[in-house]
Structure 1
Amino acid sequence: MFKWLDLIPPPGPGEVDTAWVASADPSAMTDDGERRRLLALRWHLATAEIEKASYDRDPEIYRIAAGPLPWTTGDLGWALRVAHGGRIYDGMLYHLPLLIAERLPAERLAAFEPALAAILEETCSGYFMPRSLRDPLAERYERLLTRVGAGVPAHLLPAYDAAGLAARRRLGGRLTDPGTIAVLEFASTLAKPVPTKAWLRQGEALLRDTPPAVAAVRDVLDVYTGTTGWTREAQDRLVRGLCWLAATDLSEETTVLLARVAESAGRSPGRTAEPRASRTAAAVIEILVERPGPEPARVLARLALTARSKPVRARVRTGLERMGTVRGWEPGEALELAVDHHDLDADGRRSWPAPGGHTVIAEIAGEKAVARAWRAGQPLRSMPAAIRDDEVVKAAKEFAKQVTATLATERVRVEALSSLDRVWEWETWERRYLRHPVTGTLGRRLIWQVSTDRRRWVTGLPEPAGDGWSVGGLSGPGCAVRLWHPVAADAAEVSGWRDRITAAGLRQPFKQAFREVYRLTPAEEQTRVYSNRFAGHILRYGQAHALMRVRGWSAGFLGPWGGGCHSEAVKEFAAGGWQASFFHEAVESGGHEAEFCSTDQVRFARREGRRWEPSPLAEVPPRVLSEAMRDVDLFVGVTSIAADESWFDRGEHPFRAYWSNAVSGPLSGSAEVRRDVLARLLPGLAIGPKCELTDRFLRVRGTRAVYRIHLGSGNVLMEPNDAYLCIVPGSRGARVSLPFDDDERLSLILSKAFLLAADQRITDPTILSQLPR
């Protein structure tokens, strides 16, 4: 609670007395106004003594104090002191001071401005009253303070909004600067994402005439990027106006700031794909497209991969195309050229000298960047205590986080190339996918194809060759390169690459050699325009929806509102030339947010100009079909209730039949790949002699029983009567080197296999109680 009691002006000679308010008889008063004034004061005093507030009705003060009453500044001071000393924190205590202040002339409120501002800040902390009461109350206090002369108008930087309150704190005394107020008010007049030339000229003139306002513009934008939550329309309008004003400065510092605004505005704070501030995002995208340098392209490239909003992604794609046209890029080049190299050297490292003869080196190790201490040319196991809190170490660790974020974004981008049959000239490909300090750590672990005539392709992993690289013995000018995909290879070639990757102990950045392949089935040839391959499954909806977003699918959220029973998840493939739709609907919502959903059809559409035209499955490119089906299989495999161990104890649940069938049913494409990986790994594992692979299960011989682990769900059955064995997954999986790291179910299956192969060592009473003696 804020200490604002001392901010209230001392009692005046005519101020009311609490004892008088409690004892005076309203019925003895002949003046109606005085009587209602006393009743309002009494209600306020009584409210302060109530233990619990009532939020389901308007305060009685509204009825009693309606109309003009003979309020005085003494009444206001008394009401403020009662509110401060009240036993409850609720909106009722703040209503009477507000009613009194609103009816007093502005010149008589100057002494109360600090106390009223403190109440506003306390109200906006919001932990003690519902938002439905807090926001209207805070807005009225803001308008009151604006009338008193507290600087920037309340509707521009509302203190009940996190970003507005933070901006007010940052601006401080500048809130009353006329030039700053004029610039903020002008910025808020921008109704559309893109201003007119006249608006821009007027804005530039304002900034020239009021130099201090330039810093205020940057400060408000900087504060906005550091906050989260939805942006109201008034603030959306202000921020996009400030972005256009800031854009008059072409410095790299301003470009970085605008980039942060773009990412903040395009982010989705809720569970839906709706961006935080759609019009601000649109405005900054337009600004970045026109700005020089590599940073705008990097920001747009990140947004193209991370934005959940379909309109935002579409605008980013259009912006990148425009940028590519101006800069002479080929389609898709913008994303490649935008990858930040972070000033890393050719080995993916960056170093800083540290005290005590140490060197701190940030380097890429696998799928992330780490900061390590070196001494005398040797890496140390841990960061020495003498430099652990040094600013150099902190800077190196923060730098490593930035590189890790770029690496994660780039991994998503490169994997997305799997749906696109793109071809590079050798020099371009080598520079962007092998020599780049970030992308090169991914590209050097992937399988590529090289051709000298674009008809006969040689497949291989990149290998050092002199000062450069080669693939399958080919390299140099005149060669074309493309990413290898198993959907275009026969079974023998795929099996050969899986053997080679496993034998070499190579961990690819994502599944490539072991990538699931989905080809058109006879059933899909019959249905022609839709696939029922993954229909009829029951998914945990919250987890499924989150996974869809992670994989780049946009979907309306299922819930108890009009149209909330059905949803269509949509994703664009092959650089926006194709679109897949995955239909699903809520089941057992009970009038609340959906807990489960059932799966339905998958359909495809081709882009024709600005329209999407439905396409027969037979016309969908094999890579696009396989990649889309792979995602849907992932949704089902990861979030199906069949993978939920707790379903065994739910009794006669409506979904029990589905669960019972799915926990041991036919394998999906991802489970088939899982089986293939295990077939290659088991001979080299200590538990190999105790294991056997069947068509659907990993069979493990323990000392107490023989166990069958389903390769799809990961559930365990015990022979001979298929008794279910519930094993709650632990926090650590089996320590086995895998050729990829994006299959948690495989790690779970291996961890269970190691546990059950040595079941004589099990000490968990929950598991022991289920095992035979």
Structure 2
Amino acid sequence: MDRWLSLLPSTAGDLPWALRRAYDHPTPYDGDCYELAVNIAAQLPVDELRSYQAVLTAVLAEISDDPDMPGAVRRGLTERYGRVLARVTGGLPPHLLSDRDSFGPAARVRLGDRAGEPATIAALEFASTLTKPVPTQRWLRQAAAVTVPEVVTDVLAVFAFTAETVHDDHDQMLRGLCWMASLDASDDTTELLAEVAEVAGEPGGRGAFPRAFRTAAAVVEILADRPGSGPPRALAWLSVAVRSKPLRLRVRAALDRAGAARGWAPGEAEELTVERHGLDEHGRSETVEIVGDKARALAPGASVREVTKTLAAERVRLEGLLAHDRTWAWETWQDRYLRHPVTGTIARRLLWQSSADGHEWVTGRPGDGLPGGPGFVVRLWHPVEADVAEVTRWRDQLGRQPFKQAFREVYRLTPAEEQAGTYSNRFAGHILRYRQAYALMRVRGWSAPFLGLWDGGDHSEATKELAAGTWQATFHHTRADEYCSTDQVRFARREGRRWAPAPLAEVPPRVLSEAMRDVDLFVGVTSIAADDTWSDRGEHPFGAYWSRAGFGALTAGAEVRRDALSRVLPRLAVADRCELTDRFLRVRGTRATYKIHLGSANILIEPADTYLCIVPTTRKTRVTLPFDDDERLSVILSKALLLAADDKITDPDILRQLPH
């Protein structure tokens, strides 16, 4: 408080004394020390208050930034100090739309002269009084009396389109403004609320905690009971976009509630609410068309942003269906998937299975060998339920797909796992770069407490729900300095509102395979075994692990990479210099023969198996690959092309490692 104490005027009086008393208070976090000063200030005439404006402003800032003061106490004090200052400055009280974040000043600019109008002040102050996600009927009746629609929508629009950081007090105000906006049932307001929810749910701090949790939770509740097709569509988008586990659970519950009110079965809401954007069944309109994995404009000024967002969400949703053995009636599948202007551009490039009796299944692509008609049922094909010959045949026939399907990694139950019963140690004992692993878990839809130097921060359990929320996978990991050590993977099935641990033998093959695929991805991408520079560290506690994992047996992901390489290599100019072995790609150069590990991409020089460090560049290989989500495959090919022409290498760091 030294910053504002020095600003006190030298004249005697009750207010300076009260402010000094607050400064000297030994335990100010209950807020009592600030009460006397604001009470005195509220009774002083405006002329006498003007000389205290600077110090009162500093006190307000001190209170607003106090992390230890309870939120309710802080908000009450900032409101009272703000009203006192408003008597001096006129216009909008400084505690409303304050400069504690980027949102407040931007909203003030948007409101302009309206910011100081009594109706605006009354609306913003009333919005800040909502302390719960769902208001009472009395609160809503009072809101109807004080709401200024254009002010509410303008402030929410500023948040939706410009906000980067949000102060805790603004989060509460925005929650109230959202409920005030909900009094208008128009589609425009629904769209605005959906934009607010998306921004509010974005990560705003460490990990994936939402930028404005109160605001996001309020909009989710509003959308759940709001009429029309827009609200469930917005909830469906949030269900795949939100990373916060508590918020995602709210979204799922709200989506189920919205679906039940419309007579939809569980899981139908997501596919029934996919936006069509005015496109025909071929994914085209006069201004926009979908080509492959992208949307592009056909007319000057046409926007593809919304189409691109829907396309990305549908790609994620359909990939998630691989973990769910769900079936559709033929007519329903045709309407919701093949003929949908957005979903169809993805679905038509995937493999499906159809059956007339639900037992004998025939695999094929829509319009190419897939039988069907009234009475048939359809499901999405997964390689875990196919034999090696069938998978190989489809890999030979298919080109690039929207996501890995034919080339998808497969993880079946092993005898060791069956014997263990309720846990798998398949990926235990790896050392991962923790922050990178944590970020990747979030991207893949896993929720996990962050590891750190605090009580309980040594162990974490990452969880992910699969098969429309009927199964849950848990990936255990522990802190190891700035790294983390991997442990067991366990599964549980939903029984009402609780999760019941399940033996691995009872986990559906699709669920097991998809969960293990994610964990293999975490290990394969973030393990220190893939760090080309690790050998430069000399003696290190994890050195033995790096040597063992960096050149060891291949995982399922690396096996798929090996299969892809077997198809790509014959097309390369250096094919006669390359050979695939069980774990390596051998490359014969002019100076030496090299072995590139298919898992880590680490390199050994024959015959002594001397380690060769080549740090990959960000430049990607120009070879056309069957899929583009495996950066390691591109790295291996780039290294192979470089080493096959090792007589042309000029990099001194590489040359000093090569034999003369």
TM-score with structure 2 length normalisation? 0.89
1:490 corresponds to: 387
Counterparts of 1:436 and 1:508, CA distance in 2: 18
SS of equivalent to 1:580: strand
| 2:575 alignment counterpart | 688
Q: Does 1:512 align with 2:416?
A: no
Match of residue 431 from structure 1: 335
- Counterpart residue number, 1:369: 295
Check whether the contact 1:106–1:148 (CA below 8 A) recurs between aligned residues.
Answer: no
The answer to whether residue 249 in structure 2 is matched with residue 308 in structure 1 is no
2:233 is aligned to: 298
| Pair 294,539 (structure 1): closer, same or farther in 2 beyond 3 Å | same
Q: Secondary structure at the match of 1:675?
A: helix
Secondary structure in structure 1 of the residue aligned to 2:474 = strand
Q: C-alpha distance in 1, partners of 2:307/2:555? A: 35
Largest Rg, 1 or 2: 1
The separation in 2 between residues aligned to 1:150 and 1:630, in whole angstroms, is 61
Who is 1:172 aligned against? 112
Deviation, structure 1 residue 704: 1.3
CA distance in structure 2 between the partners assigned to 1:60 and 1:622 by the alignment: 64
The answer to whether the 8 Å contact 2:282/2:345 transfers is no
Equivalents in 2 of 1:161, 1:144: separation in Å?
Answer: 22
Residue from 408, 428, 437 that aligns with 1:535: 428
> Residues 304-343 of structure 1 correspond to what in structure 2 (within 5 A)?
304-343=239-278
Per the TM alignment, residue 620 of structure 1 is displaced from its structure 2 partner at its CA by 0.8
| 2:309 counterpart (382, 405, 412) | 405
CA contact (8 A) 1:150 1:175 kept: no
1:107 to 46, 55, 67: 46
Distance of 1:226 and 1:71 partners within structure 2: 46
Q: Which amino acid aligns with 2:292?
A: G
Q: Contact between 1:445 and 1:508, CA under 8 Å: does it hold in 2? A: yes
* Pairwise CA distance, 1:273: 2.7
Specify the SS of the correspondent of 1:427: helix
Q: Which moved more, 1:410-419 or 1:238-247?
A: 238-247
List gaps (5 residues or longer) in structure 2: 16-36
Does 2:351 match 1:447? yes
Partners of 2:208 and 2:89 in 1: how far apart? Answer: 40
- In structure 2, the residue matched to 1:499 is 396
Counterpart for residue 625 of structure 1 = 512
Q: Does 1:757 align with 2:644?
A: yes
- Contact between 2:282 and 2:344, CA under 8 Å: does it hold in 1? no
1:11-22 paired onto structure 2 within 5 Å: none
Distance 1:371 1:182 in 2: 45
- Deviation, 1:235, is 2.3
For 1:143 and 1:247, locate their aligned partners in 2 and report how far apart those are by CA, in whole Å: 28
| Equivalent-residue separation in structure 1 for 2:526 and 2:90 (angstroms) | 53
AA at the equivalent of 1:259? A
Check conservation: 1:586, 1:596, Cα contact below 8 A: yes
CA distance in 2 between counterparts of 1:162 and 1:634 reads: 37
| Deviation per residue, 1:23-77 (Å, 9 max, x gap) | xxxxxxxxxxxxxxxxxxxxxxxxxxxxxxxxxxx538838969962799xxxxx
Moved more, 399-408 or 103-112: 103-112
2:444 pairs with 1:551: yes
Alignment pair present for 1:62 and 2:2:
no
Relative to structure 1, is the Cα distance of residues 177 and 664 closer, same or farther in structure 2, using a 3 angstrom cutoff? same
Determine if contact 1:288/1:296 at 8 Å carries over to the other structure. Answer: yes
Matched letter for residue 182 of structure 1: A
**How many Å apart are 1:472 and its aligned residue?**
2.2
Contact 1:572 1:580 (8 Å CA) reproduced: yes
Cα deviation for residue 649 of structure 1 reads: 0.9
Instruction: Check if 1:251 corresponds to 2:179.
Output: no
Give the superposition deviation at 1:227: 4.3
Inter-partner Cα distance in structure 1 for 2:260 and 2:81: 51
Aligned residue for 2:31? none
The offset of 1:678, in angstroms, is 1.2
Give me the whole-angstrom Cα distance separating, in 2, the residues matched to 1:68 and 1:613: 70
Matched, 1:476 2:383: no
Q: SS state of the match for residue 462, structure 1?
A: coil
Partner SS state of residue 198, structure 1: helix
Which one of 239, 262, 280 corresponds to residue 345 of structure 1? 280
- Give the counterpart letter for 1:162 in structure 2: S
Give CA-to-partner distance per residue, 1:378-418, whole Å, 9 cap, x none: xxxxxxxxxxxxxx63x32xx22332222222111110001
Where in structure 1 are there 5+ consecutive unaligned residues?
Answer: 1-57, 73-97, 208-212, 353-361, 373-391, 464-470, 589-594
Correspondence for 2:219: 284
- CA deviations over 1:431-458 (Å, ceiling 9, x no partner): 2222222212211111100111111111
Superposed CA deviations along residues 221-265 of structure 1, whole A, max 9, x for unmatched, are: 112223445644432322111111111111111011111111122
Identity, % of aligned pairs? 61
Taking structure 1 as the reference length, the TM-score comes to: 0.76
Return the alpha-carbon distance in structure 1 between the equivalents of residues 122 and 6 of structure 2: 39
Tell me which of 523, 533, 555 is aligned to 1:646.
Answer: 533
Could you say which residue in structure 2 is the equivalent of 1:188?
128
Kindly provide the amino acid, as one letter, of the partner of residue 520 in structure 1. L
Contact persistence 2:440–2:522 (CA under 8 A): yes
Distance 1:262 1:242 in 2: 13
The question of whether the paired residues in 1 share the 8 Å contact of 2:9 and 2:51 is answered with no
Pick closer, same or farther for the CA change 1:109–1:489 going to 2, 3 Å.
farther
Aligned partner of residue 219 in structure 1, secondary structure? helix
Residues 1:265 and 2:200 aligned together: yes
Identify the residue that residue 382 of structure 1 maps to in structure 2. Answer: none
Instruction: Tell me, in whole angstroms, the C-alpha distance in 1 between the residues paired with 2:605 and 2:313.
Output: 43
> In the alignment, is the contact (CA less than 8 A) between 2:127 and 2:177 conserved in 1?
yes
Deviation, 1:149, is 5.1
Quote the offset at 1:684 in angstroms.
2.8
Residue 369 of structure 1 deviates from its aligned partner by 2.1
User: Aligned AA for 2:316?
Assistant: V
Measure how far apart 1:280 and its partner are. 2.1
The structure 2 residue matched to 1:206, chosen from 124, 146, 168, is: 146
- Counterpart position of 1:657: 544
- Where does structure 1 differ by over 6 angstroms across 4 or more consecutive aligned residues? 101-104, 109-113, 129-132, 138-141
Q: 1 CA distance for matches of 2:330 and 2:527? A: 44
Find the counterpart in structure 2 of residue 731 from structure 1: 618
Of 183-192 and 228-237, more deviation after overlay is shown by 228-237
For 1:480, give the aligned amino acid.
Answer: V
Q: Secondary structure at the match of 2:397?
A: helix
Paired AA for residue 242 in structure 1: L
Q: Say which SS state the counterpart of residue 709 (structure 1) adopts.
A: strand
Aligned match of 2:30: none
Over aligned residue pairs, what C-alpha RMSD do you find? 3.2
Which residues in structure 2 correspond to 1:559-574 (within 5 Å)? 559-574=452-467
Offset of residue 321 of structure 1: 1.3
CA distance in 2, matches of 1:573, 1:526: 24
Equivalent residue letter for 2:159: Y
Residue equivalent to 1:526 = 419
Q: How does 1:5-16 map to 2 (within 5 A)?
A: none
Q: Please give the secondary structure, in 2, of the residue aligned with 1:558.
A: coil
Give a deviation string over 1:342-367, Cα, whole Å, max 9, x none: 22233323445xxxxxxxxx432332
5 Å-filtered alignment, 1:142-161, equals 142=82, 145-148=85-88, 150-161=90-101
SS of 2:271 mapped into structure 1: helix
